[in-house]
C-alpha cells in the first residue's frame, strides 16, 4: 500500500513537472515567433487598401494646406510632407502627389 502511494506521488509530481515544462516551452516558442508574426501583420496592414488610401488622403490634405500656407508655414509643411512621402511607395502615389513630391525635392 505504501509503495503504491509513493508511486502515485511520483506520478503526480512528474505530471506537474511536465505541465510546467510545457508551459515554459510554449512561452519560449511564443517569445521566438511573436516578433515574426507581428512583422507579417504589419506588412499586411501597410499593404491594405484602407492604409494606402488613408495615407494618400492625409498627404493630399497636407498638400492643400501647403498651397494655402505662407512662406514659414510652407517650410514646416514641406519637411512633414517629405517625411510622410519618404515612407510611402511611389507606385501607390497619385500622379498629382508624385509630381508634388518631385516639386518639393527641387526646393
Query: Domain residues of the chain, as ranges?
Result: 1-46, 49-106
Asked whether the beta carbons of 84 and 59 are under 8 A apart, the reply is: yes
Rounded Cα distance, 96 and 82, in Å: 15
Residue partners of 105: CB distance under 8 A and separation at least 6: 82
Query: Helix H segments across the chain?
Result: 2-46, 49-68, 71-86, 95-106
What is the pTM for the complete model shown?
A: 0.63
Tens digit of pLDDT for each residue in 45-87? 888 889 889 989 999 999 999 999 998 888 889 989 999 888 8
Give yes or no for a contact between 24 and 61, defined as CB atoms under 8 angstroms apart. Answer: no
pLDDT band at 36 (very low <50, low <70, confident <90, very high): confident
Amino acid at each position: 500500500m505504501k509503495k503504491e502511494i509513493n508511486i502515485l506521488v511520483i506520478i503526480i509530481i512528474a505530471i506537474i513537472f511536465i505541465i510546467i515544462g510545457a508551459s515554459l516551452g510554449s512561452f519560449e516558442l511564443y517569445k521566438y515567433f511573436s516578433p515574426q508574426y507581428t512583422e507579417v501583420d504589419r506588412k499586411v496592414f501597410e499593404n491594405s487598401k484602407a492604409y494606402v488610401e488613408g495615407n494618400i488622403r492625409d498627404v493630399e490634405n497636407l498638400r492643400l494646406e501647403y498651397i494655402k500656407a505662407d512662406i514659414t508655414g510652407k517650410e514646416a509643411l514641406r519637411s512633414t510632407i517629405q517625411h510622410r512621402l519618404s515612407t510611402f511607395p511611389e507606385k501607390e502615389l497619385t500622379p498629382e502627389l508624385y509630381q508634388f513630391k518631385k516639386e518639393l525635392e527641387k526646393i
